Structure 1
């Protein structure tokens, strides 16, 4: 998503992954989650120390979080002890981690994913913190930070859009034009193939299966609209619905233009093929920029909104996941943790983070954005122009349903795309296990 800023599904509750994993031929060993444990705590935890569980293991986010904790320490006199775990391990182990003795504060995601753990009682409300930081955020961000009970459980740090990225110089050299409609998009992909390019970069091997959800989400949002998309992900609509089948029909039209052997490639390798001009486009998030060290290449990156499919929906929805922090249910240093969260919810914290990691966007209304690159400015404009903002499938749905049913089904289907009937039936057969009245 770097791993700190891209979405990855969390594991379901104990006992569930073995039940549904077999549906798509996954073994218990393949689904076993690595252990995420707290780095501090205990009854006699140091009152001068706050512990942070972080999924920012890649170099850029790790440095950005280090800058945050250093600045907070200098300001508060408290020390932050960070427990950094790779993103995939963090997500797979999150439920057992929160049920044990987690760190005081932990990185997580806004919206449904936050609400899921708040509802389970695995996080503590932070209304006191929001009394201090609330004036800095708009209503949409506030909604993403509240649980179903109306209390605040989340402190946002940044967001970032998903779109179709490309290199401006490649489009100029080849005479390509940015497509607005689905037909124009497919026509451009065919032209790129004739020109010897992989039209759409693809990498969903290993722990990167989450990356296929970007295309699925946009296809559904564009073909069926935001309301249907959310209804499907929340378990309110059958996956064998004709409108869902239409999504796989559209996707099957695009798959011949995917970079070959995507299931054996990481998202980083796929992104690199775009940077190297071996692939023409990539459906990916702004975090793509974390792959770039050459400023000339960074300046050459651009994107366009995922093309329109049905004029009734146009391009009115944007995927813009929001990342931030939550408070564990029984923090060992509650006062220190709330002070830390209040700092993290301030404009200066966002500016500090973005100063190290420019591949994300500040969400605090008072954050200084004067140093934004052209790509960041365009990204902010895309999000601001959206009528609807989704958080990504693995954040807008039950995490267990996505990680053990939907993702295995869709990645298996991508290996041999057909009309999707069997795949959708398998997914639908498990829906009631995760969504009950």
Structure 2
């Protein structure tokens, strides 16, 4: 397998808590705020602090293991619940942030760089640039042409399923929406909930909207819509929601009261037949069952676009503008950029792929190899709804709007009018 990430030739988007020390709940993962996790001690660059959203067990242990290999400074990791971290990132960066923080490539990175809340790391890129494709560098570059982000990992979104269940029932991968719907009805007849679904945290439903929009209207329209350049009352957008509404009967009920982890566990337990999510769904599978996990890209809706687009978000690290130890922080980012660091991460976390072109993909699981192949074949790669648009629009408009749709899918006209009005106020 080619070790260089193939998305360098693909069209990628370029454009895409109060402080953690204030309320106690933001001081760390869990109520009361446990003390930050100490990392490797030693070195001559002092102490480097890390603000991390890797609050689930596997990502948290993965980060701790990678940081242990960094010997140039003492490190301290402050882990915050993933959703809390994202919801409060703006106030966090304006308050008393850690030196280094976990974040996302593309638009989300550019948004904070433009506000002067991130440190320019173009000098770091002069050293690490050879380890990344141009596509990754583009996704790490601000609108001023400077770099502010180091890519660490990425993962595709797809429809996941258990091979053993499908073999037992004789299910086949659908190529079109009609075949997908027919398969869902067959699963219902077998007393299996066809589609695992959860949106308690607000963001998972964004993935459903993304793929339905790209399958229906194409990548360019989707990205233009995310950029505030299209109307949410356009019949094209309505068609997306109409298609989604037609699939609602196959979704796991009571989604707003369920976390993505709980939905993933229902897939692992064979209570549900399919789950549209990122490859990190593998984190919720017992290690013994991970080889039984497989996926297919969401099927064709509009033949004009086929299955040419996917979501494949890039995660990584930035340095806050208020960093107290910039030298130590830059040294840590160089450590994160090393293929050896990302190799450790990909081995410990079955739901990610290494961003470095020099990563050793020979150690990938079958699922990871399939994930890399899916990305390599995609013509267009989106970063995910809340990364491809303004963060304020994603959090204050789209999260409640999509949750409203999931709760009351028949109130579509008023919902789309409301989204468009709010969009007009934000994208001025």
Provide the TM-score with structure 1 as the length reference. 0.88
Say whether the 8 Å CA contact 1:162–1:319 is kept in structure 2: yes
- For 2:84, the equivalent position in structure 1 comes to 89
Matches within 5 A, 1:220-235: 220-235=213-228
Say whether the 8 Å CA contact 1:235–1:431 is kept in structure 2: yes
Say whether the 8 Å CA contact 2:347–2:364 is kept in structure 1: no
Matches within 5 A, 1:203-218: 203-205=198-200, 208-218=201-211
Matches within 5 A, 1:104-119: 104-119=99-114
Structure 1 gap segments, 5+ residues each: 1-10, 13-31, 41-45
Say whether the 8 Å CA contact 1:36–1:90 is kept in structure 2: no
Instruction: Compute the displacement of 1:34 (Å).
Output: 5.8
Say whether the 8 Å CA contact 1:287–1:360 is kept in structure 2: yes
Instruction: Compute the displacement of 1:369 (Å).
Output: 1.1
The reply to whether residue 302 of structure 1 matches residue 255 of structure 2 is no
- For 1:146, the equivalent position in structure 2 comes to 141
Instruction: Compute the displacement of 1:433 (Å).
Output: 2.3
The reply to whether residue 120 of structure 1 matches residue 126 of structure 2 is no
**Could you tell me how far apart the structure 1 residues matched to 2:211 and 2:24 are?**
29
Distance 1:33 1:261, change over 3 A: farther
Secondary structure of residue in 2 paired with 1:370: helix
Say whether the 8 Å CA contact 2:346–2:364 is kept in structure 1: no
**Could you tell me how far apart the structure 2 residues matched to 1:33 and 1:182 are?**
47
- For 1:367, the equivalent position in structure 2 comes to 359
Secondary structure of residue in 1 paired with 2:130: helix
- For 1:58, the equivalent position in structure 2 comes to 56
**Could you tell me how far apart the structure 1 residues matched to 2:226 and 2:410 are?**
22
**Could you tell me how far apart the structure 2 residues matched to 1:384 and 1:369 are?**
14
Secondary structure of residue in 2 paired with 1:124: coil
Secondary structure of residue in 1 paired with 2:76: strand
**Could you tell me how far apart the structure 2 residues matched to 1:226 and 1:36 are?**
39
Matches within 5 A, 1:172-191: 172-191=167-186
- For 1:421, the equivalent position in structure 2 comes to 413
Say whether the 8 Å CA contact 2:150–2:317 is kept in structure 1: yes
**Could you tell me how far apart the structure 2 residues matched to 1:101 and 1:265 are?**
33
Say what the alpha-carbon RMSD is for the aligned residues. Answer: 2.0
**Could you tell me how far apart the structure 2 residues matched to 1:406 and 1:214 are?**
12
Instruction: Compute the displacement of 1:416 (Å).
Output: 2.1
The reply to whether residue 162 of structure 1 matches residue 160 of structure 2 is no
Say whether the 8 Å CA contact 1:198–1:258 is kept in structure 2: yes
Correspondent of 1:286 among 270, 279, 288: 279
Secondary structure of residue in 2 paired with 1:140: helix
Correspondent of 1:399 among 382, 391, 394: 391
Secondary structure of residue in 2 paired with 1:330: coil
Stretches (4+) displaced over 6 A: 37-40
Distance 1:397 1:33, change over 3 A: farther
Say whether the 8 Å CA contact 1:36–1:89 is kept in structure 2: no
**Could you tell me how far apart the structure 2 residues matched to 1:79 and 1:434 are?**
42
Matches within 5 A, 1:256-405: 256-295=249-288, 297-405=289-397
Instruction: Compute the displacement of 1:59 (Å).
Output: 1.3
Say whether the 8 Å CA contact 1:39–1:103 is kept in structure 2: no
The reply to whether residue 102 of structure 1 matches residue 94 of structure 2 is no
Provide the TM-score with structure 2 as the length reference. 0.90
**Could you tell me how far apart the structure 2 residues matched to 1:379 and 1:316 are?**
15
**Could you tell me how far apart the structure 1 residues matched to 2:276 and 2:121 are?**
35
* 1:343-393 CA-partner distances (Å, limit 9, x unpaired): 111111101222221220001111111111111000000001111110110
- For 1:4, the equivalent position in structure 2 comes to none
Say whether the 8 Å CA contact 2:26–2:80 is kept in structure 1: no
**Could you tell me how far apart the structure 1 residues matched to 2:24 and 2:302 are?**
40
Aligned residue pair count: 397
- For 2:32, the equivalent position in structure 1 comes to none
* 1:312-340 CA-partner distances (Å, limit 9, x unpaired): 11111111010000011132111111111
Correspondent of 1:69 among 67, 70, 78: 67
* 1:105-136 CA-partner distances (Å, limit 9, x unpaired): 10000010001101111101110110011011
**Could you tell me how far apart the structure 1 residues matched to 2:84 and 2:427 are?**
25
Instruction: Compute the displacement of 1:39 (Å).
Output: 6.8
